[in-house]
């Protein structure tokens, strides 16, 4: 039984034509169709399920929900019970409640974010196929992102008022859903307040991250590239398309990832993330960063604060 990996993120966008140009032509995702609500479905060329990004038309930016894929349909019933043991009322939804998916389990994190678990989603295959495949497909656009890698969520955090949904989310995912803690940032006079948490279910440094904020939101959705040269090419693609870049190519100390941060036309922050960082395994001791080294952990090369990185989210 267990969560396997991130399944998809449902983002709100205010101009669908502009959003499609961005996710298709800049990130290089493949459009898989739309529905009667006006939502569009996209995937990376190296993904095999129907979609990993769902774009929903809206009058405001942000995230509707994030979904993770479990191994078996029966896991949904077991996770429903586990969540109930932790005081979380999860609702089993019928097939097709999540588009192109089987049954799903819907619940809210302590931070207020909506999360789904599901086992089955329509498969369309990789763009290179699964028999004698080439290493990459012809005709890729933009950065040519392989797959949706992770999301980072902004969580209400005010320790002076006893509010720390970063730690609450972390505890719930570890105890009820079997996630593992890879890295964290501890703050406070005694360095005992968990302000940032990175958790994983695969073998990469994080499949989800929780960051502190005044309110609930999404910090970024991240898309995987092979390596540093692909990150630089992605930056060129963004410059050619006049994409607003938040952080130019650099390296993280936390997760060791090679990265660019930038915004879609609605203001949702994206990331291209390259390199595996390190092998994350259940028996790996969590890595801890202290408050005085926070910015070195975020931007390893400069170690300097970047105000918009912590203050801007949707």
Q: Is the Cβ–Cβ distance between 249 and 232 less than 8 Å?
A: yes
- Distance in angstroms (rounded) separating the CA atoms of residues 29 and 141: 8
Every domain range in the chain assigned CATH 3.10.180.10: 3-118, 148-311
In the annotation, is 22 catalytic? no
CA distances from 235 to 153, 178, 262, 296, 299 (A): 24, 36, 9, 22, 17
Is the pLDDT reported for residue 285 higher than 90? yes
Catalytic residue among 113, 150, 180, 183: 150
Which residue in the list 23, 220, 258, 313 is annotated as catalytic?
220
- Per-residue pLDDT band for 1 (boundaries 50, 70, 90) equals low
Instruction: Give the model confidence (pLDDT) of 171-215 as tens digits.
Output: 999 999 999 999 999 999 999 999 999 999 999 999 999 999 999
Q: For position 230, what pLDDT does the model report?
A: 96
Task: List Cα–Cα distances, 73 to 2, 44, 119, 180, 288, in angstroms.
Answer: 11, 24, 5, 22, 35
- Average pLDDT, stretch 260-285? 94
pLDDT at 277 over 90: no
pTM of the model: 0.96
Query: How far, in Å, are 98, 201, 234 from residue 241 at the CA level?
Result: 33, 35, 11
CATH number for 3-118: choose from 3.40.50.1970, 3.40.50.2000, 3.30.420.40, 3.10.180.10. 3.10.180.10
- Residue tagged active-site, from 51, 118, 261, 313: 261
- Residues 153-164 have a mean pLDDT of 97
Residue 101 has pLDDT above 70, yes or no: yes
Least confident of 50-64, 149-163, 298-312: 298-312
In this structure, are strands 217-225 and 148-158 parallel, antiparallel, or unpaired? antiparallel
If DSSP codes are grouped into helix, strand and coil, which group holds residue 120?
coil
Which H/E stretch holds residue 74? helix 74-85
In CATH terms, the superfamily for domain 148-311 is: 2,3-Dihydroxybiphenyl 1,2-Dioxygenase, domain 1 (3.10.180.10)
Question: Of the residues 47, 252, 258, 313, which is catalytic?
Answer: 252
Residue 299: pLDDT above 70?
yes
Is 150 noted as a catalytic residue in this protein? Answer: yes
User: Over the chain, what is the mean pLDDT?
Assistant: 96
Catalytic residue among 118, 206, 219, 258: 206
Catalytic residue of the set 180, 219, 271, 313: 271
- The pLDDT value given to residue 275: 79
Q: Give the distance, in angstroms, between the CA of residue 294 and the centroid of all CA atoms in the same chain.
A: 21
146 as an active site residue: the answer is no
* 97: annotated active-site residue: no
| pLDDT at residue 294, as a whole number | 92
C-alpha to C-alpha distance for 112 and 155, rounded to whole angstroms: 8
Annotated catalytic residue 220? yes
Q: State yes or no: pLDDT of 276 exceeds 80.
A: no
């Amino acid at each position: 039984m267990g969560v396997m990996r991130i399944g998809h993120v449902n983002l709100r966008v205010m101009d669908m034509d502009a959003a499609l140009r961005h996710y298709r032509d800049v990130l290089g995702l493949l459009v898989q169709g739309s529905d009667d609500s006006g939502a569009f479905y996209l995937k990376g060329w190296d993904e095999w399920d129907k979609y990993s990004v769902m774009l929903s038309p809206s009058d405001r930016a942000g995230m509707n929900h994030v979904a993770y894929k479990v191994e078996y349909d029966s896991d949904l019933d077991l996770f429903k019970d586990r969540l109930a043991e932790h005081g979380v009322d999860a609702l089993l939804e019928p097939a097709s409640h999540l588009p192109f998916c089987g049954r799903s389990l819907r619940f809210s994190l302590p931070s207020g974010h909506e999360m789904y678990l599901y086992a089955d989603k329509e498969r369309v295959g990789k763009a290179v196929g699964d028999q004698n495949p080439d290493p990459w497909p012809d005709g890729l656009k933009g950065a040519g992102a392989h797959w949706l890698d992770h999301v980072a969520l902004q969580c209400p955090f005010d320790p002076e008022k006893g509010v720390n949904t970063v730690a609450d989310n972390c505890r719930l995912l570890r105890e009820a859903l079997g996630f593992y803690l890879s890295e964290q940032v501890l703050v406070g006079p005694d360095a005992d307040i968990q302000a940032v948490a990175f958790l994983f279910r695969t073998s990469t440094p994080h499949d989800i991250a929780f960051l502190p904020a005044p309110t609930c939101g999404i910090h970024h959705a991240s898309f995987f590239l092979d390596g540093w040269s692909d990150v630089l090419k992605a930056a060129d693609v963004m410059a050619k398309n006049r994409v607003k870049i938040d952080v130019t190519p650099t390296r993280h100390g936390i997760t060791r990832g090679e990265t660019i941060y930038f915004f879609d036309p609605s203001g949702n922050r994206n990331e291209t993330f390259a390199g595996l960082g390190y092998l994350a395994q259940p028996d790996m001791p969590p890595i801890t960063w202290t408050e005085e080294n926070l910015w070195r952990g975020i931007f390893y090369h400069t170690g300097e604060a970047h105000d918009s990185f912590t203050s801007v989210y949707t």
